[in-house]
Amino acid sequence: MNGLIDKLYHENTLSGGEFAALIKNRKQADAGALFAKAREVSKRRFGNGLYIRGLIEFSNYCGNDCHYCGIRRGNRHCERYRLSADDILQCCANGYALGFRTFVLQSGEDGAYSDGDLADIVVRIRKAYPDCAITLSIGEKSYEAYQRFFESGADRYLLRHETANAEHYAKLHPAGMSLANRKQCLYHLKQLGYQVGTGFMVGSPYQTAETLAEDLTFIKELDPQMVGIGPFLPHKDTRFAEEKAGSLELTLFLIGVLRLMLPNALIPATTAVGTVDARGREQAVLAGANVLMPNLSPVAVRKKYLLYDNKICTGEEAAECRDCLRRRMESIGYRLTVGRGDYSGE
């Protein structure tokens, strides 16, 4: 295995078969060697600084019905909310005062905000905070909509591909959603000049080493600036309620692999990894992650944005979340950096 890890370190990629073999045959000792290399690569580029992004979950209404997701349209037990433009601006103001210079606006695919409404929100944030990056994570939209948001001042876009295997994609999503469209959206975003983030859940139902190898191959081809992965976690009101959660161990291993594949990428230690294990985010950083996304949403709505059961950080104010993360990261020798933290490739 160490041979494949060395190859990945030197060549930044492997064949599909090699990725699958690396995943299938991995052992604890291999993970140790992988993380040491991933940390070395990450430290060389980013030192011991970690970027922070303020996450604003502004609506949990969704027109989609992804089978794994707690806020999917068909979940009648989900208590819905949406924030107004003023509420969102208030979250940004709180975040700015706390040192955040990137705002990530995430929601379900909520048709109540027209493209024009969303563009107006972006314009208002851009005007009020010219020194900040604006990231959108609002799902699949038309090329024209993406263009409009970009021209309004959005810089980055997060859209996980979820799985790069079309049959697997069809088992996780209802008819009408397709991997082809998801990929098209990602290529449109890149074409328009966004810094693009993609990613997938680790341990989603029906996932195999082979589908994961396809994920890694697709990511290499797309060459995104950001990659977010986290364990799949079941939600009680979905058809996958009784499925096993994705493992911390495999998630960390794949973070290490991604760091070697994309040395300059922004890779978050996600909330899901912190939910599956109390020290999951610290371990993710030690496996090569370099971004943290504390929550800036009003505490009153936090518990309603439940993609999966037992989500952490739903009761704390933004300042508490940031301070908690700062302490956690200092405990492993890292510090939070202020600044937009743009991607800089070589």
Instruction: Examine residue 271 and tell whether it contacts ligand SAM (CB under 6 A).
Output: no
Among 159, 250, 255, 269, binds ligand SAM (CB under 6 A): 159
Length in residues, the chain: 346
H helix intervals, the chain? 2-11, 16-24, 28-46, 85-97, 115-128, 143-152, 166-172, 179-192, 209-222, 248-261, 271-276, 280-286, 299-302, 318-330
Rounded to 10 degrees, the C-alpha dihedral 136/322/257/37 comes to: 140
Instruction: Tell me how far apart the alpha carbons of residues 82 and 298 are, in angstroms, rounded to a whole number.
Output: 11
Question: Quick check: helix, strand or coil at residue 320?
Answer: helix
Among 325, 322, 307, 334, smallest CA distance to 75 is for: 307
Which residue's structure tokens are 């210079």? 101
What is the x/- site pattern for ligand SAM, positions 56-85, by CB under 6 A? Answer: ------------xx----------------
Smaller CB separation from ligand FES, 108 or 298: 108
Interface with ligand FES (CB under 6 A): 62, 64, 66, 69, 71-72, 108-109
Stretch that binds ligand SAM, among 157-165, 214-222, 294-302, 328-336 (CB under 6 A): 157-165
Smaller CB separation from ligand FES, 137 or 217: 137
Instruction: Examine residue 160 and tell whether it contacts ligand SAM (CB under 6 A).
Output: yes
Task: Name the binder of 72 from ligand FES, ligand SAM, none, CB < 5-8 A by kind.
Answer: ligand FES
Smaller CB separation from ligand FES, 201 or 329: 201
Least distance CB 44 / ligand SAM (angstroms)? 29
Smaller CB separation from ligand SAM, 192 or 336: 192
Smaller CB separation from ligand FES, 146 or 305: 305
Instruction: Tell me how far apart the alpha carbons of residues 287 and 272 are, in angstroms, rounded to a whole number.
Output: 15
Report the DSSP beta bridge partners of residue 52: 292
Please give the residue ranges that form the binding site for ligand SAM (CB under 6 A).
Answer: 68-69, 106, 108-109, 137-139, 159-160, 162, 201, 230, 232-233, 235, 272, 307-308
